[in-house]
Amino acid sequence: MQHFPIFLNLDGRRVVLSGGGEVALAKLRLLLKTTARITVFAAAPAPEIEDWAARGLLTLHRRAMLPGDALCAALVYAADEEAALDAQTARIGRAEGALVNIVDNLADSAFITPAIVDRDPVTVAIGTEGAAPVLARRIKADLEARLPATLGSLARIGKGFRKMAENLPFGRARRAFWADYYFNAGPRAMDQGGESAAGSALDDLLARHLSGDPARGRVDFVGAGPGDPELLTLKARKALDAADVVIHDRLVGPGVLELARREAQMIDAGKHGFGQAMGQDDINALIVAHARAGAHVVRLKGGDPTVFGRLDEEIKAVTAHQLPHAIIPGITAAAAASASLGRSLTKRGRNSQVRFLTGHDTKGFADHDWRALAVPGAVAAIYMGKRAARFIQGRLLMHGGAPDTPVTVVENASCPGQRTLETTLGRMEPDMEQAALNGPAMTFIGLAPRRAQAALPDTPQAQETF
């Protein structure tokens, strides 16, 4: 190890930087995270530097550095990206007793600035002695993804609680408490109620750990997205990583399920359109039973859990047993399907609202405000609309819907078997019947694929009348 990592106290210390371009900006953005007194020398400073100077965040001299300019500086950065000028800066810096860094010149630098993951007061510094910057970037990206964004605030709150935590025996019990706080209870409380909730979560958590029964189960209602595993949120991935039990819908595909922790117990609570594979009460009971036994249950739902997912019934069951829960949103099928059409769901001058409808509800085909839906320009995304196609078509036509209103059905949006059926309100039912759709399908009323418009300029779907 040629470069020894240390954390330097820059509070109130002088840091001098010569340079006013891109490289200087990148270094200054990092330095501005500190409480150092920063002085910049630049004949032609970038507007951002001017702005920082105007706001009093640094002192700016619009000239090259001269002997005497680095007096009392702890660090000097030569960031002019010009060898002669950088060498001059370095000479002055060294002569005046500062540690010098010439940006992108490892050999002539006394120190290097690592890649930083900033969760202040937690700071991770990554260095490769200049050998593999790509590797440093990858490690940084991995850590950025892995460490909760709120970790810094949690660490600050936790610091004030260290004395209280000493009520737990030193060693394993105390470590388990802090791990539970930083990676479970803390981030959850922070998500739900901000810093004050994260603070009070500490008291509850300590009480539980002191009682000797820290293992309390919990339930995350997680949106699995429309099928493509890359459309999962980072939070969903983390929940899957940590799950003891995963209870999933039929809609959740194998690519997503594979991301669950190896040891996790996987339970398929798949439901079918009408009749159900497992009744809702059975699912509720299953979630509660596992969580009460101390498991971290991930209730994985296709798309977004708050859209046509009977989420409230499950939450009611969970809260009835005082089990903690969280909702992790996902990308709903309508969003994935509209993206596949190259279309936005709303458009200025066309539709200022979009409706998410279900084709059927517990009583059968669902009734809606058909008159409003039949208005020219109206856009609706219909979930579970396959079997109800004839019913929907009939109602819309009956309420004045134009037969040439575009209708687009996207089957298996974001999945390998994705198919798009382009039709009109007048032809919707026979076309859908003929297409023999057998995957989940999103039916859009009032929306045509963008590509078809360019290709077929004379067809009704092609006109920008909707």
Residue 415 lies near ligand SAH (rule: CB under 6 A): yes
Catalytic-residue membership of 404: no
Tally of CA atoms within 13 A in the half-sphere of 395 that contains its CB: 16
Residue 242 lies near ligand SAH (rule: CB under 6 A): no
DSSP β-bridge partners for residue 410? 420, 442
Residue 303 lies near ligand SAH (rule: CB under 6 A): yes
Residue 307 lies near ligand SAH (rule: CB under 6 A): yes
Q: What span, in angstroms and rounded, lies between the C-alpha atoms of 368 and 371?
A: 9
Cα dihedral 145→148→152→158 (10° resolution):
-150
- x-or-dash pattern for ligand SAH, window 116-155, by CB under 6 A? ----------------------------------------
Q: Which stretch binds ligand SAH (CB under 6 A): 13-21, 178-186, 330-338, 419-427?
A: 330-338
Q: How far is the CB of 271 from ligand SAH (least distance, A)?
A: 9
Residue 231 lies near ligand SAH (rule: CB under 6 A): no
Catalytic-residue membership of 27: no
- x-or-dash pattern for ligand SAH, window 189-228, by CB under 6 A? -------------------------------------xx-
Q: How far is the CB of 268 from ligand SAH (least distance, A)?
A: 16
Cβ nearer to ligand SAH, comparing 33 with 450: 450
Q: How far is the CB of 421 from ligand SAH (least distance, A)?
A: 12
Q: How far is the CB of 393 from ligand SAH (least distance, A)?
A: 16
Q: How far is the CB of 258 from ligand SAH (least distance, A)?
A: 17
- x-or-dash pattern for ligand SAH, window 368-397, by CB under 6 A? ---------------xx-------------
Cβ nearer to ligand SAH, comparing 354 with 442: 442
Residue 414 lies near ligand SAH (rule: CB under 6 A): yes
Residue 421 lies near ligand SAH (rule: CB under 6 A): no
Cβ nearer to ligand SAH, comparing 86 with 249: 249
Per the listing, tokens 């002539």 go with 108
Question: Which residues 6+ apart lie within 8 Å of 71 measured at CB?
Answer: 96
Q: Which of 17, 38, 315, 410 binds ligand SAH (CB under 6 A)?
A: 410
Q: Which of residues 427-466 bind ligand SAH (CB under 6 A)?
A: 440-442
Tokens of 445: 């009323």
Q: Which stretch binds ligand SAH (CB under 6 A): 45-53, 239-247, 296-304, 368-376?
A: 296-304
Q: Which of 69, 220, 249, 304 is catalytic?
A: 249
Residue 408 lies near ligand SAH (rule: CB under 6 A): no
Q: Which stretch binds ligand SAH (CB under 6 A): 61-69, 82-90, 127-135, 305-313?
A: 305-313
Cβ nearer to ligand SAH, comparing 14 with 368: 368
Q: Which of 42, 190, 202, 333 binds ligand SAH (CB under 6 A)?
A: 333
Active site members: 249, 271
Q: Which residues bind ligand SAH (CB under 6 A)?
A: 226-227, 251, 301-304, 307-309, 332-333, 337, 383-384, 410, 412-415, 440-442
